[in-house]
């Protein structure tokens, strides 16, 4: 299999600046979306620093995992992704303490590392990962948000949650505290499957059924821009980032968008 990636990010119709970041690292099969918070300087810095730190930690860790016996690799990969999120959280938290301009910054993190026929999804916050398979879309991640906790506890219905003005309150983020516990989900991938990663700038305006229909009726290469336009048409109240990856065969002639966004090295202290 080869992996084709198509990202798109947009400031939306209300915000003056874009605090989302994404990363496409085709060399190691790592794809990330991060939605920063904490003001112009803090939010943008947190999301960019997060994807950069996770990329470096995963890249370094994979070199040691290659030498493990096959039966131990899956657990090691899951531990590596959780450790990468924790490292990013600690580094961002320390930077916020050292620079008052960055005080209170944090970010969501949703991404996947593809190894063989498995996608290992790492998740903190309320950005989302969806598996697009056949004519269906399945949300792989569970929102770490106050609203979702109320729904899970039976205190709010899905309809009440969708209409709430409190969807932006998240209960877990990278960098707001020094330590963070990331969810890691492993999914077996087949030819023709696709994974859509997005910030809540899209997730708040759509659902699984609509995403499945959009993926069925359009080229996947066009899906990120279509989703961004849809979110803007419905209000565009937040930054919008969508990253679609397709698991294709070796003879597929389509190309990825080779746009690897990373923070500058000097923004992360050694």
212-266 pLDDT, tens per residue? 999 999 999 999 999 999 999 999 999 999 999 999 987 777 777 655 554 433 3
- pLDDT reported for residue 267: 39
Establish if 181 belongs to a structural domain. Answer: yes
User: What's the pLDDT at 162?
Assistant: 74
Let me know if residue 17 belongs to a domain: yes
Would 261 be classed as within a structural domain? no
| 269 is a domain residue | no
Task: With respect to residue 266, please indicate whether it lies within any of the assigned structural domains.
Answer: no
Domains contained in the chain, number: 1
Q: 240 lies in which domain range?
A: 2-253
pTM across the whole model: 0.91
pLDDT reading at 26 higher than 90: yes
Per-residue pLDDT tens digits for 64-104: 898 888 888 999 999 999 999 999 999 999 999 999 999 99
- For residue 23, being part of any structural domain is answered with yes
- 262 within a domain of the structure (yes/no): no
Secondary structure tally for the chain: helices H, strands E: 7, 11
Beta bridge partner(s), residue 36: 107
Q: In a 10 Å sphere around its CB, with 0-12 CB exposed, 13-18 middle and 19+ buried, how is residue 16 labelled?
A: exposed
DSSP 4-16: EEEEEEE--SS-S
**Residue 52 maps to which CATH number?**
3.60.40.10
Q: Could you report the per-residue pLDDT of 175-203, keeping only the tens digit for each?
A: 999 999 999 999 999 999 999 999 999 99
Q: Is residue 132 part of a domain?
A: yes
- Walk across the sheet containing 128-133 and list its strands: 2-10, 240-248, 194-198, 128-133, 136-139
């Amino acid at each position: 299999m080869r992996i084709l990636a198509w990202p798109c990010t947009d400031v939306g119709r209300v915000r003056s600046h874009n605090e989302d970041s994404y990363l496409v690292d085709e060399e190691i099969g790592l794809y990330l979306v991060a939605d920063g918070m904490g003001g112009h300087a803090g939010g943008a810095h947190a999301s960019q620093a997060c994807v950069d730190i996770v990329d470096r930690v995963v890249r370094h860790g994979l070199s040691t995992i290659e030498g493990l016996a096959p039966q131990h690799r899956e657990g090691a990969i899951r531990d590596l992704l959780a450790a990468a999120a924790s490292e990013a959280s600690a580094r961002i938290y320390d930077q916020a303490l050292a620079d008052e301009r960055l005080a209170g910054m944090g970010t969501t993190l949703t991404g996947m590392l593809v190894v063989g026929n498995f996608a290992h999804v790492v998740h903190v916050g309320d950005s989302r990962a969806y598996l697009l398979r056949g004519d269906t879309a399945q949300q792989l991640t569970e929102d770490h948000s106050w609203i979702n906790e109320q729904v899970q506890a039976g205190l709010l219905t899905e309809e009440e949650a969708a209409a709430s003005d409190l969807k932006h309150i998240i209960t877990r983020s990278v960098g707001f505290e020094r330590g963070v516990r990331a969810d890691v989900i492993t999914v077996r991938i087949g030819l023709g499957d696709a994974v859509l990663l997005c910030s809540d700038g899209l997730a708040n305006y759509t659902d699984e059924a609509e995403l499945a229909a959009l993926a069925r009726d359009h080229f996947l290469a066009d899906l990120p821009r279509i989703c961004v336009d849809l979110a803007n048409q419905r209000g565009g109240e937040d930054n919008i980032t969508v990253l679609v990856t397709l698991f294709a065969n070796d003879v597929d002639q389509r190309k990825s968008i080779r746009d690897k966004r990373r923070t500058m090295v000097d923004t992360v202290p050694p």
